[in-house]
Amino acid sequence: MIKDQSFLDDKASYCIDSAKKNGATDVQVSVGNSVSETVNFRNKKLDESERSDTLILNLTTFINKRKSTISSSNIENNNLDILINRCVETAKNSPEDECNTLPEQELLAKKISELNLYDKNHISNEKKINFLTEVEENVFMDDKIENSESSFSENKSIFTLANSKGFLSGYKSSSFSASCVAVAKSNGSMERDYEFTNQRFLEDITKADKIGKAASSNAIKKLNSKKISSEKIPVVFDKRISRGILSVLSSAISGSSIARNTSFLKGAIDTEIFNKNINIIDKPNILKGLASRPFDSEGVKSSEIKIVENGILKNYLLDTYYGKKLNLKSNGRAGGTTNLFFQNGSISFNDLIKVHPKLLYVTETIGHGSNIVTGDYSVGASGFIIENGEFIYPVSEITIAGNFKDIFKNLTLADDLEYKYATNSPTTLIEGMTVAGK
Amino acid sequence: MTDFFIKSDISRNDAEKVVSETLKNCDDGELYLENSKTENIVLDDSKIKNSSYNSDIGYGLRAVTGEVIAYSHSNEISKNSLKNSSENLKSTLKSKKGTYNHSISKSNIKYYEDKNPIEEKSFSSKIKILEEIDKYTRSKNPNVKQVTANFLGEHKSVEIIRAGGEILTDIRPLVRFNVSVVLEKNGKKETGVYGIGGRQSYEDYLKNENWKKVCDEAFRIASVNLDSKPAPAGEMKVVLGPGWPAILIHEAIGHGLEGDFNRKKTSAFHNLMNQRVASDGVTIVDDGTLQNRRGSLTIDDEGTPTEKTVLIENGILKNFMQDRLNARLMKTNSTGNGRRESYKHIVLPRMRNTMMLNGTHTQEEMIKSVDKGIFAVSFGGGQVDITSGKFVFNCTEAYEIINGKIGSPIKGATLIGDGPSALKEVSMVGNDMMLDPGIGTCGKAGQGVPVGVAQPSILINKMTVGGTQI
């Protein structure tokens, strides 16, 4: 069982009082506990069970404009006393920084709205095993499947965030996730693919048979791939991949990248960085949302923001520190974005893949090839060749490359957005990238 | 050494009893206890951006029978918590029956000293060096727009209690020092990153103003990239420089030779034992015994002493890397490759310092032999898909080769290849083997562990370069 809110609240208050007695002028503390239980299957048999019970306390002490942070998993008061003392002493020896401060009082979240993030239902390991048995029975329905690994995980978390300006709030959240990775084999070719589901509430997860069947067919489709020759060819990103464009955007417009002058989007605020028909929203208040939250990791209220409106960059992602650096106010993005998504485009998936007679449809990329400083992009890829709207054959061992400044301007979004991850995008057509192969 | 039971309501003796009782019908398992302290001090934008200290303590109780692993971990080393973990494990394994393997090899050799790098150097003196680094690097050139530098120090105490009360311990120091420089000229920005580290004190790396060399190198890489032109696209010859580019070996071959993927037959190498997997002259070892290296371990995270394991000898596959579970199921012995990121993670077979040994050629010979290709000197990171064998890595410093001569620097491009065939395309192995500077972290199944790599220069006949210029 996870700890009570009152236990965490008391720990947080203890730290604030103790740090102040040690000489801190301001204090922020978070205390969290998370319990998860996971069961893994491999080739229709139980492979692994894991129970995880973790505690974490993060404390930041300020002495005017000096700051220091400690964290610990040992939250016994006698251990905390030692660490609090160390934290304050380190702050004393740290240089001043004008931007070191707690958030302004009026930005802190006051009314905490109920976002429906916690499902009290518990699913026993026996029931997880039944679920996974059904997943795996469905994977192996095709005899091209050689291997499979499936997993079911239940997580319950609770935390409290408090600061010396009187903020003290916290809440519980839960998640239930199941996944299946299938390995298919035929004519000496081996390929792996997957399907998964992740939801706040148990009742919302994808059914076991669907997960197994999808993983199976995804892996089989990739068998006996070809390597294509190098060319400039329009590329379509599957929803799994297109959401990565938003991750790059959010790194590039984070307060730290902008203030430190290490972003290819420095100075791009209020300019058109996408086509006019592109809108990007960050929405923290979706009920049951995977990345919903009433306030950010500093207690600042998180409200819905339009990041890109009609192609124009409208907001950076700011916490208190980088807000101050840029002479702006925090917009509640300490700890990153919330539920971030491209608004749907106006073309259907089926029409999108017919826009050009020949397309490369990318279902997987590997490597860390996004450079936030220059915007350059180059990754390994695999997927399919589409001709006249038909999937013709799988391709692998190729790379795709371009620069995000161009990629952003050459996007066409389909109308098939769904909320499967914290960051989501419809299927996306990108023109003008270079594909390297033979 | 941490006494994990001194403040606990359970005595060491009673904890040993819980372990023995939990594991009595299992093939293997242990109680793994860990106390780690980590300090990270970051200078950025000419300010001390962050100073953090983390103190983490916890245990993981593991029971293994047949192929099934049951694991439970917690931060609370208490009677109640251990009891819950024990019950959780027993419920998973209730229908299984095994025989505990008490045998574990022993060694008295240590590959690093018992030091606490965090406490050895005062906080103020670390701050002072970081500030000097900022001043020094910015004074090199007015084009320097950003300098980030950090000290990351770790001190980890590990205790392993096996059924029957056998106890194994290790104390592991680890430091890393990194500098990143951003240059801007005529509106173009480029980054250079360099770092050093290992299982020693900061002083071993920073003495005689050695830190200046790290700043110089980061600055040099950024300068080279400022003058880079777009990279070519397509298949061509690739010369890899010595040292850190050996992450190619790590990705292309290393992961595929880890015991778990081969026991499960998901690796492209699982049926290739004693067969040719690389050109003649290619020998690859995984060595946990190099003194003070980042990837070295006195014992692995199951208590097995590490060793130098020959993986490929003159092109022929000789051994996989094993932990105890996979070794037992494949009827062989652990090679001391059983590792975990922390007590929060299960043990997996993982690499230590993975090295391609010297051949007879010179780098000059290799470059001369290439009409059109690239010379890759440094990489950012890499990744592999074990099942298909496809791997990638990103160049952070590379040049074109034209008619046997090194030409202009080229922009960071991804290289992609196929693991099982890549080493068969190695046509020359150099005589200039180098270890990497001590910065590698390998990720697998969500767990990061420190590793090392080494290689001489090598010539690969055919790889796909992911540039933009066809």
Q: List residues bridging with B59 in a β-sheet.
A: B33, B74
Terminal Cα distance for chain B, rounded: 59
In order of A233, B33, B207, B385, the CA distances from A229 in angstroms are: 11, 53, 52, 21
Which residues of B are less than 8 Å from A55 in CB distance?
75-76
Residue B115, pLDDT score? 93
Does the distance separating the beta carbons of B189 and A373 come in below 8 Å?
yes
Residue of chain A nearest B382, judged by CA positions? A367
Is the pLDDT reported for residue B180 higher than 80?
A: yes
Any idea what the Cα angle at residue B56 is, between residues A33 and B40, rounded to 5°? 115
Amino acid (1-letter code) at residue A102: L
Question: Is A71 in Cβ contact with B67 (below 8 Å)?
Answer: no
CB–CB contact A76 B91 (8 Å): no
Query: Which of the four pLDDT bands, split at 50, 70 and 90, describes residue B390?
Result: confident
CB atoms B127 and A95 under 8 Å: yes
User: Do residue A73 and residue B81 have CB atoms under 8 angstroms apart?
Assistant: no
Q: Are residues A160 and A253 in the same domain?
A: no
Burial class (CB in 10 A: 0-12, 13-18, 19+), A31: buried
Closest CA–CA distance from residue B109 to any residue of chain A (Å): 32
Secondary structure of chain A in HEC code, one letter for each residue: CCCCHHHHHHHHHHHHHHHHHCCCCEEEEEEEEEEEEEEEEECCEEEEEEEEEEEEEEEEEEECCEEEEEEECCCCHHHHHHHHHHHHHHHHCCCCCCCCCCCCHHHECCCCCCCCCCCCCCCCHHHHHHHHHHHHHHHCCCCCEEEEEEEEEEEEEEEEEEECCCCEEEEEEEEEEEEEEEEEEECCEEEEEEEEEEECCHHHCCCHHHHHHHHHHHHHHCCCCECCCCEECCEEECHHHHHHHHHHHHHHCEHHHHHCCCCCCCCCCCCECCCCCCCEEEECCCCCCCCCCCECCCCEECCCEEEEECCEECCCECCHHHHHHCCCCCCCCCCCCCEEEECCCCECHHHHCCCCCEEEEEEEEECCCECCCCCEEEEEEEEEEEECCEEEEEEEEEEEEEEHHHHHHCEEEECCCCCCCCEECCCEEECCCEEECC
Cβ contacts of A188 on chain B, cutoff 8 Å: none
DSSP A311-362: TEE---B--HHHHHHTT----S-TT--SEEEEPP-SB-HHHHTTSSSEEEEE
Enumerate the residues of chain B whose CB falls inside 8 A of the CB of residue A50. 70-72, 346
- The shortest CB-CB distance from A74 to any of B57, B68, B344 is to B57
Rounded to a whole number of angstroms, the distance from the CA of B398 to the nearest CA of chain A is 14
Task: Show which of A206, A221, A236 is a domain's final residue.
Answer: A221
pLDDT-above-70 percentage for chain B: 100
A192 neighbors A220 (Cβ within 8 angstroms): no
Spatial distance between the Cα atoms of A330 and A99, rounded to a whole number of angstroms = 12
Looking at chain A from residue 50 to 79, which residues have their Cβ under 8 Å from any Cβ of chain B?
50-55, 67-74, 76, 78-79
| Helix, coil or strand: residue A84 | helix
For residue B172, the model assigns a pLDDT of 98
Which residues of chain A have a CB within 8 Å of the CB of B88? 49, 51
* Gap between the Cα atoms of B438 and B425, Å rounded: 28
- The confidence score (pLDDT) of residue B422 equals 85
Q: Is A261 on the interface with B (CB under 8 A)?
A: yes
Of B70, B191, B387, the CB nearest to A192: B387
B48, B55, B235 ranked by CB distance to A438: nearest: B235
Instruction: Answer whether A50 sits within 8 Å of B346, measured CB to CB.
Output: yes
Coil/strand/helix, residue B18: helix
The answer to whether B75 and B62 have CB atoms below 8 angstroms apart is: no
Map residue B454 onto helix, strand or coil: strand
Residues A45 and A164 in one domain: yes
In this complex, is the C-beta atom of A232 within 8 Å of any C-beta atom belonging to chain B? yes
Using DSSP's 3-state secondary structure scheme, residue A183 falls into: strand
**Number of domains chain A contains:** 2
Q: How many CB atoms lie within 10 A of CB A122?
A: 12
Query: Residues B322-376: pLDDT tens digits?
Result: 999 999 999 999 999 999 999 999 999 999 999 999 999 999 999 999 999 999 9
A214 with A234, same domain?
A: no
| Among candidates B57, B72, B391 on the partner chain, residue whose Cβ is nearest the Cβ of A73 | B57
Counting residues of chain B whose pLDDT is more than 90, the rounded percentage is 88
At B227-278, the pLDDT tens digits run 999 999 999 999 999 999 999 899 889 999 999 999 998 888 999 999 999 9
Q: What is the pLDDT of residue B381?
A: 80
Are both A180 and A257 inside the same structural domain? no
Q: At which of A162, A194, A221 does a domain end?
A: A221
Among A230, A259, A373, the residue with its CB nearest the CB of B234 is A230
Residues A83 and A164 in one domain: yes
**From B47, B74, B146, residue closest to A262, measured CB to CB:** B146
CATH number, position A56: 3.30.2290.10
Inter-chain touch A73–B55, beta carbons under 8 Å: yes
Q: What is the mean pLDDT of chain B?
A: 95
Contacts of A364 in chain B (CB under 8 A): 385
Closest residue in A to B88 (Cα) is A51
- Summarised one tens digit per residue, pLDDT across range B53-87 is 999 999 999 999 999 999 999 999 999 999 999 99
CB A229 within 8 A of CB A438: yes
Q: How far is A113 from chain B (nearest CA, A)?
A: 32
B contact test, residue of A63, A147, A399 with most B CBs within 10 A: A399
Residues of B in contact with A402 (CB under 8 A): 468
**Residue B46 exposure: Cα atoms within 13 Å on the Cβ side:** 11
Does residue A15 sit at the B interface (CB-CB below 8 Å)? no
pLDDT at B413 over 90: no
| A92, A66 contact by CB (below 8 A) | yes
Q: Say how far apart CA A359 and CA A385 lie, in whole Å.
A: 6
Would you put residue A397 in left (φ > 0), alpha (ψ -120 to 50) or beta?
left
What was the pLDDT predicted at A348? 98
**How many Å is the Cα radius of gyration of chain A?**
24
What's the CA gap between B32 and B77, in Å, rounded? 11
pLDDT of residue B77: 95
Provide the pLDDT for residue B421: 85
Amino acid sitting at position A248: V
Distance CA A132, CA A180 (A): 9
Nearest CB to B124; choose among A53, A93, A190: A93
- Same domain? A268 vs A168: no
Are A179 and A244 part of one and the same domain? no
Q: Do residue A335 and residue A271 come from a single domain?
A: yes
Q: Is residue B362 classed as helix, strand or coil in its secondary structure?
A: coil
* Residue ranges for chain A with pLDDT beneath 50: none
Closest CA relative to residue B42, chosen from B161, B157, B134, B141: B134
Hey, what are A267's tokens?
């100075």
Residue A399 contacts B where some CB pair is shorter than 8 Å: yes
Structure-block tokens of residue A246: 């938003």
Residue A290 sits in the same domain as residue A438: yes
Any residues with CB less than 8 A from the CB of B410 and at least 6 apart, and which?
Answer: B228, B229, B230, B231, B232, B374, B395, B398, B399, B400, B467
Domain boundaries, chain B: 118-155+172-226, 233-466
Q: What is the DSSP letter of A226?
A: B
Which whole number is the average pLDDT over B379-392?
A: 85
Contacts of B264 in chain A (CB under 8 A): 42, 147
Q: Do A402 and B468 touch (CB under 8 A)?
A: yes
- Angle (deg, nearest 10), helices A208-221 and A125-139: 40
Q: Which CATH fold topology does B118-155+172-226 show?
A: Double Stranded RNA Binding Domain (3.30.160)
User: How close B107 comes to chain A (CA, Å)?
Assistant: 31
The answer to whether A52 contacts B81, with C-beta atoms less than 8 Å apart, is no
**Strand extents, DSSP E, A187-233:** 189-199, 231-232
Q: Is the pLDDT of residue B1 over 80?
A: no
Q: Do B54 and A42 touch (CB under 8 A)?
A: no
CB A379 within 8 Å of CB A400: yes
B162-185: average pLDDT: 96
Within 8 A of B441 by CB-CB distance, chain A residues are none
Rounded-to-integer distance, Cα B321 and Cα B310, Å:
9
Q: Do B393 and A262 touch (CB under 8 A)?
A: no
Domain boundary among A166, A189, A221: A221
Q: Report how far apart, in Å, the C-alpha atoms of A209 and of each of A141, A216, A362, B93 are.
A: 11, 11, 25, 26
Residue B419 pLDDT? 83
**Residues of chain B contacting residue A70, judged by C-beta atoms under 8 Å apart:** 52-55
- Contact residues, chain A, for B466 at CB < 8 Å: 369, 378-380, 398-401, 436
- What's the pLDDT score for residue A391? 96
pLDDT score, position A205: 97
By C-alpha distance, the chain B residue nearest A37 is: B72
Residue A69 CA: distances (Å) to CA of A14, A34, B52, B58, B137: 16, 21, 5, 21, 27
For residue range B26-41, list pLDDT tens digits in order.
999 999 999 999 999 9
**What is the arithmetic mean of pLDDT over B15-19?**
97
Q: What domain range is A266 assigned to?
A: 225-438
C-alpha to C-alpha distances, A214 to A40, A136, A269, nearest whole angstrom: 18, 11, 41
- Select from A262, A294, A281, A255 the least CA-distant residue to A423: A281
